[in-house]
Structure 1
Amino acid sequence: MSTYTPHRVVILCRISDARDEDTTGVDDQEKHCRGLADRLGWKVWKVVVENDVSAYKRRKIQLPDGTYGLRTVRPGLRDAIAWLSTGEADALIAYDLDRAVRDPRDLEDLIDAVELRKPRPPVESVTGSLRLANDADITMARVMVAVANKASRDTARRVANARLRKATNGEYSGGIRPFGFLKDGVTVEPAEAAEIVKATEALLAGASLRSVVRSINAAGVKTSRGKEWNTVELRDMLRRARNAGLAVYKGEVVGQASWPAIVPEESWRAVVALLNDPARRTSPGNRARWLGSGLYICGGCGETVICSRSGPATRPYYRCRPPRGGAQRPGNHVTRTAELLDEHVEELIIERLSRPDAADLSLQDQGEDVAPLHVEAVTLRARLDELATLHADGEIDARQLSTGSIRLRNQLKDIENRITAASQGNVFAGVVGTEDTRATWKRQDLGRKRAILDALMTVTIMPARHGRGPDGSYFDPASVRIEPKR
């Protein structure tokens, strides 16, 4: 035991698996550590809490010299070691050795921080398993951390093997209840499943991720943790392969799952491709705020227009995009009041969607028949499993396994791409064939409206007469050229 009484003691509390932000484990550790400090007469300076932090799992990170290495990510422990090294803290208390360190490199850094200071800052634990007062203590700590590290490796390997076995068999491997399913992870929860279908269809029909988040939160639907949705949570949920009834291991689909699909595989693949598209704009500054921005065409120069309030105008209006470099584009450029033009275009869209043949619009969006593609994909995955079995039994060598796997995976990737392309989204789904087309149209978000506009027609703004028209309005519908696309 140290011969002096520390007055700036750091308490280190850690738990590796805190479900739903449960801090009971670390709170209990802190209570016991404070009790030890009181018995020793030490004064607590700081309490470092690492909630839901592993002392064993390592990640690839960039090191200070620019190279990369595998390290445990423990900001709290790093702070404690730094305070001991500089003398800002003069002692450390943890509940036990396992709560403090499980990685030999972390232990060595802690030992260095202790041995470099004079007098030597004491390190103690409630259970007595962590002490660094002398060479014997340090040797024992090294042995115990090595044993604990091996135990963690053994556990990780057993868990990984169990998860692979369950995934291959299409079984649920446990964890936090997945949205859309009951706690067993297999039984579909109808109300939540309906939200998954609704969100998937909305995105594929042209709605923005933010608008879908707003819609699901407005409906009062919570995540499986009982929280409101945000774009990250919703994106991750919609990209889950389990929504399509597929089992996954380490991010790779390994086969059909034991639970039913909530959305067709082609729809899931299409929404994953959409959300993973690096060109997808998510910055609020780049988001279109008007129906025709980037879609309407100037009849004078042939370029698309934008909507703005710049200049002396007090009302928003459509105008040509400003040329780069200040050079004026040739042609008779046009401008048009945004509200009046959008109202006119929306009326034309509603009229088209209200026609008896509007249902045919959905049929025109149907792609390749995916049923045979699914059969072929299942066959290819089975052949990959057969190759792995042959290699395990010594029937083929590693080179043959690699060659065969590459060919089969390339074929499977091609099939999956065709499945994705077959369902890039029907922009008219849920809009045509309703009792009140106008009301249905008004309920759509701007992204969906723009997608429908782009699919239905090309709008060109032509030069207009000056002054009021016969009806007293400055807007002349004849100055807008509409070219139907279907």
Structure 2
Amino acid sequence: MGARLTGYTSTGGLHPEEAKGLRIASSLLLGEEPPTKSDVVRTINAKGYRTSRGSEWRTSVLMRTLLHPRMAGLDEDGNPIEGHDESVLTVDEYNQLTERYGATPEDEEQATPRPAYDYLATNGLSLCDQCRYAMVGARVTGDADPSYRCPPPAEGRASCGRVRMTADRLETAVGEQVAAELLRPGVREQLAQLQEDIRDEVSRLRAHVQGADQRFAELGDMYGRGLLVKAAFLAAQQATKQDLKETRVRLRLLEQVAELDLGQVTDVVAWWNSAPQTSRRALVGLVAEVVYVLPSGHGPHDPHERINILWRTAS
């Protein structure tokens, strides 16, 4: 039997300490001015992070690990693995790594890094207007422009795969509409209260995540006592895993929203044009519940006609 994949336990669950080291490496590699891969390896080795074998990291091993689809809970075809629990990386982080460093890590030292793209409105911030499935960041080909797309339908995935929009058009339209929303009288005050509500939700979601072990234990106890048949137990267990996965994704976004400081922003447009993508994403998450992306037949020449934003503030 081969060694387990670093970042996960032998039973398939997340290995928190190993996952933390891999996430640090991923964040460094996806920075605006990333250090060399060798420097990243030296950094995580110096912090004490090791492979699943207990060895220090080597560049080829680190890249091969980070570019493994299971880092994002995907199979070899790029589809979500049924029943997979929390993943080391989000799908977007994994896509950005593969875009920048290529999907074949054996020759990564010779390959010219490809520019990664940090999508503004993925991880549930944008939904397909046709099927209400979360849009993902993707490119049609390696040389194509970054795009948002509804993933094609697959077993266990009720998506339609019929909606796609380039990131430049979608994000420009979202930015312009967000700026306009913030200029409406009274919106800033509403957002301040919303942010307090979101901080409360962050606390609730953290408690929900922390209580997952107890929920799984209760299901196991009910099954063991014969209160659940096997099919019902497995269905409830899978639903609980999916709920936990979605909660963790939402928590990561809302934590950014809760920390956003708009108090000193006087020129919203100037702020938007100069702010890092993380701050922009937090602002979109604060102002909007979701961005619906419509098919190309709804105004192909005007990106504003292709999106429908559900605002958190009252219009």
Which TM-score applies when normalising by structure 2? 0.41
Which TM-score applies when normalising by structure 1? 0.28
Over alpha carbons, which structure has the higher Rg?
1
Higher relative contact order (CA 8 A, sep 6+): 2
